Amino acid sequence: MIKRLYIDNYKSLVNFELRLHGLTLLLGPNGVGKTSVLDVMFAVRQLLTGVAKISDKTIFATPTLTRWQTRDTQTFEVDVILEGDEFRYHLEVEHELSTRKARIAVETLGSGGKPLFRFERGEVHLYRNNHSPGPSFGADWSESALARVAPRDDNTRLTKFLDFMRKVIVCGLCPASFETESSTEDAVLQRDAHNFAAWYRHLLLERQELVPEFTKALEKVITGFRGIRMERVGLDTRALMVMFDPFGKRYELRLDEISDGQRALIALYSLIRLAAGQGYTLFLDEPDNYVALAEIQPWLIELADACGDQVPQAVLCSHHPELIDYLGGDRGIVLRPGSSGVTTVHSASDMAVEGGLRLSEVLARGWEQ
């Protein structure tokens, strides 16, 4: 699981350190940096899987520098514990302010304080599992050199870290953008989940045995729901069809014909039912959007039960009273704007709640100070 995140010089996050639990709820007003935390995790994941480069300007672009500072270097660290092995990934992104170009100045991976990989100023140094020096070579400053390291018998610890990062899902559901048809199976759910049909198609191949229980869970929260099937609409193209039987008469609707809330529920239950047991770490931005009050509670209970077992770790951002009151007391972390604009971190469990008020009421009234 991810134990610690460190972010410096990224939007409102300056010298920012966040310690995470198996299930964490990020709280705080808009603009304080909750989504920025998820954006950083998504960018790191994209970089370490080789999907994106710094030069693409799709991740760690120059406009993400903290505006009230003049420093041109961003620093990020991710601490991960895997089977008792502690890893620290360190990344420094250097910006040229006049041209808005960026490059990787330093990228390292260590375990137990000793090196497994180091890239600095265009030069890569590899280390074996026992930290003894391996080969050195030049590499491109615009992409992650770590992502390009091939698995070998003497670097299995490095490979274990990369495999973990490939299974980080960072998502803020936008049901209106969900594509109904897919011609491929996608192993990665995108940031807004627009490729949900292709991702669901991939899950079917991996975890067909979980579909019956997944269907039963959705039958409890979506009126008349009876199942999902992928209908052939071309040589390799399938359309996601949702089956209903609310009045004893069966009918089907395409994914783009059901409501945004129903699409959101299908995606949310897929994340904890069909993706279960595959080692996915979840970072979800306001998963309660589009979902009715009576529908979010059952999903929350399932998520809490699955965390640490079927779902190794989950980090949620939310303003929803139901999530705040259910998770905030002992799993909540409150982000607040400091006097200089820098975001500060506080444990929700340290907040005094008096007069029988719920935590969501305290936050709504601005009394958490």
pLDDT value, residue 268: 96
How many angstroms separate the CA atoms of 173 and 268, rounded? 9
Q: At what angle do helices 293-306 and 321-331 cross, to 10 degrees?
A: 30
Contact 191, 174 (CB under 8 A): no
Mean pLDDT confidence for 77-83? 96
Mean pLDDT confidence for 244-251? 89
pLDDT value, residue 97: 87
**pLDDT tens, residue by residue, 138-189:** 999 999 999 999 999 999 999 999 999 999 999 999 999 999 999 999 988 9
Confidence of residue 309 (pLDDT cuts 50, 70, 90): confident
Residue 279 has a CB neighbour count (10 Å cut-off) of: 16
- Quickly list DSSP for 227-266: EEEEEE-SSS-EEEEEEE-TTS--EEEEGGGS-HHHHHHH
pLDDT value, residue 352: 55
Q: Which of 5, 10, 16 is nearest to 68 (CA)?
A: 10
- Report pTM: 0.93
pLDDT value, residue 368: 58
How many angstroms separate the CA atoms of 66 and 9, rounded? 5
- What token pair was written down for 339? 């006097």
How many angstroms separate the CA atoms of 219 and 197, rounded? 19
- Based on the number of CB atoms within 10 Å of its own CB, is 121 exposed (0-12), middle (13-18) or buried (19 or more)? exposed
